[in-house]
Amino acid sequence: MKYHHGNLKENLIQQAVMACEESGWENISLRNLAKQLNVSQTAPYRHFETKEDLLAEVAAKGFEKMNADMNKTSNFLANGLAYCDFALKYQNTYDLMFGNSLGSFTQYPALLNQAHLAFMTLENNLEDHLVNLGHSDVSKEIIEEKALSVWAFMHGIVGILRKTEIASADTKPSEGPMKIMNNLANNWDKYIEKSIDNILSI
């Protein structure tokens, strides 16, 4: 495949997106990407001053993909499941999106915008969900707080599910929270729906 220098920035981003999932964002190298794209080792630096600038674009693509997945339905509960599906399928990208490696998103306008759009999808669909339940008088402040609570819950449940996957690979816990999560992992979509409904109770 030939890469034209006029498309080098986008090619670098797409190559980095694939590399992130294949080997983790920590192992991405501008020099290695340049070699893979058959350009000089200095060429990537015309578009990205640092590796972090490129990683910010990869994280932005992650939020864009997650948002697109959530936007496939206006059903709020389905949004939560789509979030978790994305997080479990693209674990390395998810870790980059929500880790501390990039510092403040305000340094990267494109990343900040995509993260904002993903949250707005969740918030807007939550508002529609509450209206459908007969809660048309709920304040904007409460909607924002509940959207954040749901996001925090989903983020937490993803971490536990991933830990459960690791623990279950070697042994099946006989007691404690890991046993509970191991059982719930087989039916976690219903558990998530029930938990989100509890968070949204007014």
Domain edges within the chain: 1-49, 58-200
- Name the DSSP class of 45: G
Average pLDDT over residues 35-40: 92
CA dihedral 87, 69, 190, 174 (to 10 degrees): -20
Predicted local confidence at residue 192, as pLDDT = 81
Average pLDDT over residues 152-167: 80
The vertex-154 CA angle with 135 and 15, nearest 5°, equals 125
Class of domain 1-49 (CATH, top level): mainly alpha
Band the pLDDT of 77: cuts 50, 70, 90: confident
Average pLDDT over residues 151-171: 76
State the Cα–Cα distance between residues 146 and 138, nearest whole angstrom.
11
What are 108-156's pLDDT values in tens digits? 999 999 999 999 999 999 999 899 888 889 999 999 999 999 999 999 9
Q: Tell me which of 48-57, 68-77, 180-189 is least confident.
A: 180-189
Predicted TM-score of the model (pTM): 0.86
Q: Is the pLDDT of residue 90 over 90?
A: yes
Predicted local confidence at residue 189, as pLDDT = 75
